[in-house]
Every structure is written in C-alpha cells, then in structure tokens.
Chain A
C-alpha cells in the first residue's frame, strides 16, 4: 500500500530520512576515514577526510595481526554452523510443522523457551566440560554450540514455509509408496529452498558476528574468529586507532557488501511470492 502526498510534505520526509541515514552511516564512515590517517592526524582532525590516505595500513595489519587466519576461522565456523543448522532444523521443522510425532507440542515449546534463556545460564558448565574434554580452541566445539543457539529461530522460520506446502503432496507421495525420508528429501526439501537460503544467511551472519561464545571458547590467536581476534588485539593496539579501525573495516566491509548484494535478491525473492509446488 502506498501514500500519495504533496511535494512539500515529501521534501520534509526525505530530509528526516536523510538525517536518519546520516546518523547511522557517519560513525561507519569515520571507521573508514580514520583507518587511513596517522594517529596524530586523527587527533588534529577526527571527523574529516584524511590528507594523505595511508592505503598500506590494511596490508600491514593483515600481516601483523594474523588476520588471514582469523578470517579463515570465521569462515570455517560460519559455514559449518550454516550447514549443521540447515540440516538438523529442516528435518526437525518438518516434523514439528506436520505435528507428526507424539510430543511435537512439547518439543516446540522447549525450543521456544530456550530462546529466552540467557547464555550465562549454561555457559559455565559448558566451558568446564569442554575444558576437561580438551575442546577449548576447537572450531568444532564452537560450531556445535552455535548450532544449539541458532536452532530455535531457524526452526520456527522453516516451520512457516513447510506449513504452506499442501499436505496432499505428501499424502500423494505416501500412496505412491515413498518412504518418510524420501518424502522429506524429494518433496519437502526442494520446496523450502527459499526458506533455507534465508536461514543460511541469517545464521551465517549471526555466527560471523558472535562475540560471547567466540571470546570464551577460542582463546588463542590461532583459534580465534575475526571478532574474537579483534577483541584480543584491542588491548595491544589500544593507542593505535588507525590500525584498530583498519582491522574493524576488514571484518565489517565484506559482510556489508555481502548483505547489500543479497538484500536486493532477498527483497525480490520474497516479493515475487513464495515458491508454490
């Protein structure tokens, strides 16, 4: 639905929206601008353009902070989490959406309740048990924890996609003699692809940006994800703001680009309507 409004009102609306956009973007722009200055220049001129942009800063911090390793860890953990979340939740969502096992309600309620529980409520035993098992600094352990944390959201999202698939499709396949797993993999899974893509995006982004679990369970420079590595380095680079901002940009910019590209496809995909089988 749209509103038609006179041009004068429109100009005012655009001015307000422009202010709001500026309010959000300016700190992010400062990150980029100040990464290209010297420390002294930031002190003299913290809010303007750099005089002699120091483009070498990115290569310097990349090597000095061992960022390649951290980015690799982030990618590994994010992709691993996406794969495992999509696998286990799509299967669970199908059963929950179709209410096809006794206790489906309890299961859904349980997952709903877990979303309200603060991480501090289970992180301590988790940490000490992982310690005994020698799983601190292991990406697999973090993927496992992330899978549990990101499951409820993915489950309820996928559930809405599955509910929209007519049950008759499944029944028809059953009559044709398809097994339960064939029904899931051949009928349901292809139809919820858009939902899976959405889940993959959100889960991947959440895993990439996650802080608390990453900082607690990945303590060495070798094992740390980009966010955990950045936190480790903050102390070391505390007086060197250009280098700090350069690292920040290396972590943030790819994600922003990724988001902007996919957001467009996202809006188009959603507005063209869910794929109906």
Chain B
C-alpha cells in the first residue's frame, strides 16, 4: 500500500542491515519483573513464527537427505537427492527460468515505474485517480488476474489474441508454445506489478525537498537534469530497497506459473518453486522435493548476497 509511512518502514528496513555494522551496546539489565513481562510481549509473535517457519525449515533441510514419500518412515540417503537433481535437465531448466524471470522482473517494471512516477509528479489534476488505477492490480487476487489473461487476452478462441488473429494480426497464444510460455506468464506478472512500484516511487519523490529542485532550476538545469541529478539520487534508498525486495519476491514466483501453465508445455515454464511443489504434492517424493526447496533457498540467498555486495561496492565509491 502506498504511503509515506510504508515508505518510511521500507527505508527503515533497508537501513536495517547497517545497524548490524554499528555495535549497539544494550545495558545488560538484571532480568527483573518488568523485563520478564516485556519478554512475554515478544513471545507470541516469536513462537508462532518459530513453529511455522524455523522448525519446519530445519525439518525440510533434514528431509532433503532422505527418500521420504510422506507415508513410510524416511531412509537417510546422504547427498543422493542433490546428485540426482544436478544430473536432471528439468532442474537446470527451472533454474535458468528463475534467473531469467528475476533479471527481467527487476529491471523492466522498475524502469517503467520510475518513468511513470516522474510523469505523475508533473501533473496535479487526476494524480490520485491515476495512482489508484495503477495500484489496482496489486489488490486483486493472482488467480483472478491469471485467469483473465489466460481466457480473455491470450486464448485463441475466447481472447483478444484470437480476435486479432481472425482480423489478420499474426499473434498466437504465448502460453501454448514452449519458447514463449515463460514470457507470457512474466508479462502478466509485470503488468500487475509496475503500477505498485510507480505508487511507491511517487511517494518517495514527493518527499524530496522542494528547495533542492528549485535551486537546481535557478542554476539553469533542464528538467531532465533535475530528474537524473536531483530526484533520482534523492530516492536512491527506496529504489535500491525495492530492487532487493523485487529480487526476493520474484525468485519465489509460484502462483502465476502454477495457474497459467503449471510449468508447461513440457517443462518450458517450470521454476524451482513449481518444481518443488509438484514433486511433493503430485508425486509425493517429499524428500526429493525438499532438495529442490533447499537449492531454491541457496540460489536465492546467493542472489541477495551478490546484490548486497554490489551495493556496498557502489556505496564506497
């Protein structure tokens, strides 16, 4: 939801990893009654999260070294799942799709979102209306949007594409062909996402100090220079943070692909998220599915680390 407060929360979270560098010394107070009460205040949120996320996560890692099928007692098989996974074309295809998906997702909607946010900054009348419209898709359920695009846009019989075909425009359903299936899904996902970014960026842009912009204009800067030299640097934190979040979110892509293509045709649009899920719930190879999950997390973690490194390096310059 777009608001300055959410902004603040996000920027706050972005600064969070810097807190780690500064050693905050908390007085080690004796655990008196008040401190104990405060412990009780954190306990519910922490216990719920530990039981839903951390404990099952440890179990998943353990399962990835077994051949568990969800029913029998699991056998420990060492790294056999990982060896099998590395020798599979399916896994590499899914990984490649994930990386392709994330790399496009973190660039195209970002650029479009920034551009449109800059344009919104230039108009006053209708700004709120545009914001609401651009934000609309991110308030609607994935499964609804995916079906609209599948049936009303892409479908050769009931969709806009079918109609265009019949009047002679050479388009075809991207979801039906292995070469284009992933792109077809990615396009819908980006269509629903860029407006959200636009609203976030506009919120950040509106917080930029007016006097900076006025000073730049007085110094004879063109509007383009004001955008690139004043506005962009001012919202840098927000942009970088949204990039990080977008990498994380897009790497977990599941809904769109599962609903629109189920990873097909063949394995053309498979990603690690759908591969793990289908292996567990359609083939009941839970141990093997867990090894997909572990790989998914490791690659995701790697992407985050690489991103943070690049960011730190540019900070130092």
Contact = CB atoms under 8 A, between A and B. Distances in A.
Interface of A: 1-3, 5, 9-10, 13-14, 16-17, 20-21, 23-25, 27-28, 30-31, 34, 39, 42-43, 45-47, 87-89, 91-92, 94-96, 99-102, 104-105, 107-112, 114-129, 144-145, 147-149, 151-152, 155-157, 159-161, 179-181, 184, 194-195, 198, 201-202, 205, 208-209, 211-212, 216, 226-227, 230-231, 234, 241, 244-245, 248, 251-252, 255-256, 259-260, 263-264, 266-267, 270-271, 274
A99 to B, nearest CB: 6
B46 A114 contact: no
B128 A264 contact: yes
Contacts of B19: 105
A221 B42 CA distance: 37
Q: Majority SS of interface residues in chain A? A: helix
A101 to B, nearest CB: 5
Nearest to A146: B52
Contact of B70 (A101, A107, A128): A128
B163 interface: yes
B139 A259 contact: yes
B188 to A, nearest CB: 9
A95 B296 CA distance: 33
Contacts of B208: 1
Contact of A205 (B139, B143, B159): B139
B9 A120 contact: no
Contacts of B205: 1
Interface of B: 1, 3-6, 8-9, 12-13, 16, 19-20, 24, 26, 28-29, 31, 34-35, 37-39, 41-42, 44-46, 48-49, 51-57, 59-60, 63, 70, 116, 119-124, 126, 128, 130-137, 139-145, 147-149, 151-153, 157-160, 162-163, 191, 195, 205-206, 208-210, 213, 223, 248, 251-252, 254-255, 259, 272-273, 276-277, 280-281, 286, 289-290, 292-294, 296-297, 300-301, 304
Contact of B41 (A46, A47, A159, A184): A184
Contacts of B139: 205, 209, 255-256, 259
A158 to B, nearest CB: 8
Contacts of A256: 136, 139-140
Nearest to B195: A24
Given A92-B44, A124-B286, 20 more contacts: A2-B121, A17-B123, A25-B133, A47-B163, A91-B42, A102-B31, A120-B277, A122-B56, A124-B290, A148-B49, A155-B45, A156-B13, A160-B8, A198-B5, A201-B1, A212-B255, A216-B281, A227-B143, A230-B143, A263-B131
A180 to B, nearest CB: 4
Contacts of A24: 133-134, 136-137, 191, 195
Contacts of A270: 3-5
A105 B246 CA distance: 25
A52 B26 CA distance: 71
B294 to A, nearest CB: 8
